[in-house]
Structures are given as structure tokens and as C-alpha cells.
Amino acid sequence: MSSAAESKEIQKIGNLLLDQSRPLKERFRALFTLKNLGGDEAIACISQCFSDPSALLKHECAYCLGQMQDLKAVSILKEILEDASEDPIVRHEAGEALGALAPPDLLDLLKKYTQDPAVEVSETCQLALERVQWVHSATKEDGLSDNPYNSVDPAPPCADFSTQQLREILLDEKQTLFQRYRAMFALRNKGNIESIAALTEGMKCSSALFRHEIAFVLGQIQSEAATKQLIKNLRDTSEHPMVRHECAEALGAIASEECMNVLKEYQKDPERVVRESCDVALDMCDYEKGEEFQYADTLQHLSS
């Protein structure tokens, strides 16, 4: 495909992302297609979406910008983090994305927002600060466990610990979140039934940010062994919407009949971010049960 033709195609996909009249599931597919394509035009299209009324979509836009690993996204993410009028779920994801990009000149900014009034933002910026410091440390540790998921994580997984040792770190609320996140990702990478059991225990810990990230990694693992706890947290209307949203998306990744039935039940939840997550998760269920090579494979006909 010529550069002109590719640019035209990116613009078509970007127009779909920005079209509020289209179903959210289609716009999500457009977003992840742009993430996979990368480049300046894809970043520009994603950046335009931060005026959208959907906090869920803006949150995913911030996530994708971090995963793209292109420093051209730093300025827009910085602007979102600094916008006190923005939904904390979106600001949190912007902070996490800055940590994923790890620009060393933003340490002062991240330090500032470790004191943010929104706890999900302050905790995220503390994690991002520690990740950036870790990335640029001359004494960066070796011996990390392999990451089979190709994701840029908020903390590096530690290695050379038993599952029981990792469980103890994960559940120890006296440890820093950074160390507990390291244990979390190491347990995810192990992926055995004992590790999954330890992670589901973490869904009862005090930090909503922590619970939300555990739900995310359980979705990456896609084990039905996590279904019961994910459903429990989704059903809990006193649970933080950020956690319930992530539980819904994890259930969509697991994609069992039980998961689909529960997601349908919560498509009309009073919390917008929850009901939208259920819609997107059900689309993910269709993908997991289908034969598409990639989640965004069916996008071509949608953008035509």
C-alpha cells in the first residue's frame, strides 16, 4: 500500500473512532487498529478522541497511546493528566501511559501528581514514577520473568520467587504498591492454578487501583478459574466503577457462556463505564469464540 493510500485508510479508521453515532464496539475496534498501525497520523487520530463524552473510550485511548511506545504521545497524555476536570479514570490511565513511555524529563510532573486528591491518580503516578526511575536506573535489576503477553506493564515482573512468596508480597499491604505490582505480574506470567488463586485473593485488597489491575491481568490470563471472583466484584455495586469495568472486560476475554450471561445482565447498569464495558466485553466474547486472527480484523468493512 502506498503512503498516500495508507494515510487515507488511517483517516477512515480515525473517522470511525471519532463518530459518536457508531456503536462503541466498532469504535473500540477502530482504536485498537490505530494502535497496531502506529505512527504520527494514528496518534493524531487517537488524540482527537479525548473530547468524547465516554470516559471508558478516553481511558482506552490513553492506554493505547502508552502501549504504542511513541514519545510523540507524551504531550497529549501530560495535558490529560493535568486536567483536573477530567474523569479520574481517564487521568489515571494517562499517568500510567506516561509511566509506560518513561520519559525521564517528567519525573517532577509525576512527583507532583503523587499528591493528587483523586487516590486512583495519586497511586498511579507513584507507580509511574517508580517505573520511570527503574527504567533509567544504572543498577536496573536483571532476572526478570518473561512476559508472554507483549504488554508494557506498570511495573516489571520480578523473578526467582516461588508462587507462595509472590502471593505473600501481593497480599502484604505494608509493601509498596510497586513491589506488589511486581509480584502481580510475576504471578500472571506463571499463569498456573496456584498463581491464579493468589491473584483472585488480591481482588479483596483495599486499593481500588490494585484490584482493577488484578482484574486486568486475570483477563490477560483468560482462565475460567478466575470467573467466580470477577463476577463477584462486578456484581458488587459498592465496588469502585474502575474495578467493575475491568472485571467486565476480563469476563469478556474469558468468554465462557457464564461470563456472557452475566455481561448481558449488566448492560443496563446505572454506571455508564460499567454498562459500556459490558457492551465492549460481549464484542470481545464474539471475537474469542470466532475465527478472526486479530480483534480488529473485521474493521475493514466498518470503515468503508
Domains and CATH numbers, the chain: 1-139 (1.25.10.10), 141-291 (1.25.10.10)
E strand or H helix at 284, and its extent? helix 272-289
- Does residue 20 surpass a pLDDT of 60? yes
What is the arithmetic mean of pLDDT over 98-125? 97
> Which residues belong to the annotated binding site for Fe cation?
59-60, 92-93, 212-213, 245-246
- pLDDT band for 28, please (50, 70, 90 cuts): very high
d(CA 139, CA 130): 14
User: Could you tell me which of 228, 243, 162 has the C-alpha nearest to residue 197?
Assistant: 228
Whole-prediction pTM: 0.93
pLDDT in tens, 111-121: 999 999 999 99
- pLDDT band for 140, please (50, 70, 90 cuts): low
Q: What are phi and psi of 175, to 5 degrees?
A: -75, 155
CA distances from 62 to 67, 227, 264, 281, 294 (A): 9, 27, 27, 18, 21
d(CA 183, CA 303): 41
- pLDDT band for 299, please (50, 70, 90 cuts): very low
Average pLDDT, the chain: 93
- Does residue 298 surpass a pLDDT of 80? no
One-letter identity of residue 247:
C
> Which residues belong to the annotated binding site?
59-60, 92-93, 212-213, 245-246
What is the arithmetic mean of pLDDT over 37-56? 97
